Amino acid sequence: MILANAVVDIIDEPPKGGKGLGKFRVECWGEKPNDYTRIYLIHAKSEDAAAHEGIDTFVQEITNMISGETFQ
């Protein structure tokens, strides 16, 4: 299991009314022994959605790195 945290910064607010995506900078980092840091630019409907996508991407990337696979 990879434990990870995220901080989300808003670059562009999502449009009012929930129709469209905002742009977010998501910084993710893992707990030891997977204490790596990654930054992702993510388009999502909300800060929460961006955080979830960032953490999911981080976990997949680190899992692939540990297993010797390349991230896609």
- Is residue 19 very low, low, confident or very high in pLDDT (cuts 50, 70, 90)? confident
The pTM for the full model equals 0.88
Q: Where are the domains of the chain?
A: 4-67
Q: Is the pLDDT of residue 72 over 80?
A: no
30-70 pLDDT, tens digit per residue, is 999 999 999 999 999 999 999 999 999 999 999 999 888 66
pLDDT of residue 28: 98
What's the whole-number average pLDDT of the chain?
93
pLDDT of residue 64: 93
Question: For the stretch 37-56, what's the b/e string if a residue is b when 16 or more beta carbons lie within 10 angstroms of its beta carbon?
Answer: ebebebebeebebbbbbbbe
